[in-house]
Structure 1
């Protein structure tokens, strides 16, 4: 696996998707949020998508998956789930695996109780 560059981590710290995910998780801790809960997943634009779309092979384009995520009503909880689980595969919360690797490093600072931190 390739190393995460410091500039990628610096960019991730300012990424609005990550900032939204951190805010969502903070607001949801007292409510009904559960990383393992799958109710939100059924409301995703990808609920009926073929797995190959959301989990393309390395170096295959991810444009179709990102377009599907762009208007998804559960994009933020989806990203939180991926960050909490340190999922580095597939497209989650409108992020590519490469982007999420850097976000996961930042997430460990934001949320020291994250799974596997």
Structure 2
């Protein structure tokens, strides 16, 4: 596996999908079970073939990303993948390589502590 380049990490810092995921994580304040079965059933990929969402390395992911584009749980899906540090498959409308760069940023994006904000 190739190392993530610094410019990829810099792009990830400004990626709207990552910024939405960070905002979402702050909004839910730990009240969302990312492993809940009902959450998984809401995704556009719920009935998709596993090979579509988990392509072999270097296989195109365009079809999976297109499926994710209008998914109602795209942002929580990305949060789940980032929290789990999932490096395989398409999650939250991101390809594995994109997500690896996002993970470098995510680990430094601490959730907002609601108690510190109200103090």
Q: Distance in 2 between matches of 1:89 and 1:9?
A: 18
> Alignment length, in residue pairs?
111
Cα displacement string for residues 7-35 of structure 1 (whole angstroms, at most 9, x for unaligned residues):
000000000000000000100015x3123
Unaligned runs of 5+ in 1: 113-117
Q: Distance in 1 between matches of 2:86 and 2:36?
A: 16
Question: Aligned residue for 2:54?
Answer: 55
Cα displacement string for residues 37-84 of structure 1 (whole angstroms, at most 9, x for unaligned residues):
232111000000000000000111111100100000000000000000
8 Å contact from structure 1 (residues 12, 103) kept in 2: yes
Give the alignment's Cα RMSD to 1 decimal: 1.2
Say if 2:3 is the partner of 1:3.
yes
Q: Distance in 2 between matches of 1:44 and 1:105?
A: 26
Give the TM-score, by structure 1 length: 0.90
Question: Aligned residue for 1:75?
Answer: 74
Give the TM-score, by structure 2 length: 0.89
| Mapping of residues 1-117 of structure 1, within 5 Å | 1-29=1-29, 32-111=31-110
- Higher mean displacement: 37-46 or 50-59: 37-46
